[in-house]
């Protein structure tokens, strides 16, 4: 799936949520995610190499965790992120396979997350990263056939500006930490 992703560090979480509420948008309940980010052997930033992420997700303490393997690839020249996700039943076995394929653990990130589905293919996440001050918002739009990346990205940035946010962050969370 091709996505355009824009993140920003929030100036003020309450103001951000208030502005969303004014347009009748409210976040769903909070859930927890933990990512182990793996890079392939020979990884160099800016060379469009894929990253693998082993994700643990918990929506409630009385429910079992869910596990996902996420393949992410940011295509620098186009601004597109290619993201594929699949459910994993055996976390330990999937981790062993990742290592056997030559990937090495680069970082671990944990966050509390809430989301709003803005419309078809557009989601806003509100993230509180563990051990990082402040809150982040991440907006993702699925790139439909014929859409131009630049225009979709500009729309996402404009949406953040309308919501009073201008501190755009280019780095993935693993690099923010």
Q: Global pTM?
A: 0.89
Please state, as a whole number, how many other Cβ atoms lie within 10 Å of the Cβ of residue 64: 8
The Cα–Cα gap between 136 and 70 comes to 21
pLDDT at 31: 96
User: How many separate domains does the chain show?
Assistant: 1
Tens of pLDDT, residues 37-66: 999 988 887 778 889 999 999 998 899 999
pLDDT at 47: 79
pLDDT at 170: 87
> Where does residue 22 fall: left (phi above 0), alpha (psi -120 to 50 degrees), or beta otherwise?
alpha
Kindly tell me the number of DSSP H helices and DSSP E strands found in the chain: 4, 9
**Could you tell me the CATH number of the domain that includes residue 13?**
2.40.320.10
pLDDT at 22: 93
Q: What are the C-alpha distances in Å from 149 to residues 16, 42, 51, 70, 177?
A: 25, 28, 21, 22, 27
pLDDT at 42: 85
Residues of the chain falling short of pLDDT 70: 77
DSSP 8-class letter at 89: S
Q: Range of 13's domain?
A: 2-176
């Amino acid at each position: 799936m091709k996505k355009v992703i824009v993140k920003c560090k929030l100036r003020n979480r309450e103001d951000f949520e208030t502005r969303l509420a004014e347009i009748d948008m409210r976040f769903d309940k909070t859930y927890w995610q933990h990512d182990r980010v793996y890079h392939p052997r020979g990884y160099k930033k800016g060379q469009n190499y894929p990253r693998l992420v082993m994700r643990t997700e918990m929506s409630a303490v009385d429910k079992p965790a869910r596990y996902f393997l996420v393949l992410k690839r940011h295509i620098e020249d186009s601004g597109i992120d290619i993201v594929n996700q699949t459910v994993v039943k055996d976390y330990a076995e999937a981790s062993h396979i990742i290592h056997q394929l030559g990937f090495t653990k680069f970082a671990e990130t944990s966050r509390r997350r809430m989301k709003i589905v803005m419309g078809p293919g557009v989601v806003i996440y509100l993230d509180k990263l563990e051990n990082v001050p402040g809150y982040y918002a991440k907006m993702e739009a699925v790139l439909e056939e014929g859409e131009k990346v630049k225009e979709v990205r500009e729309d996402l940035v404009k949406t953040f500006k309308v919501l009073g946010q201008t501190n755009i962050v280019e780095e993935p969370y693993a690099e923010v930490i």
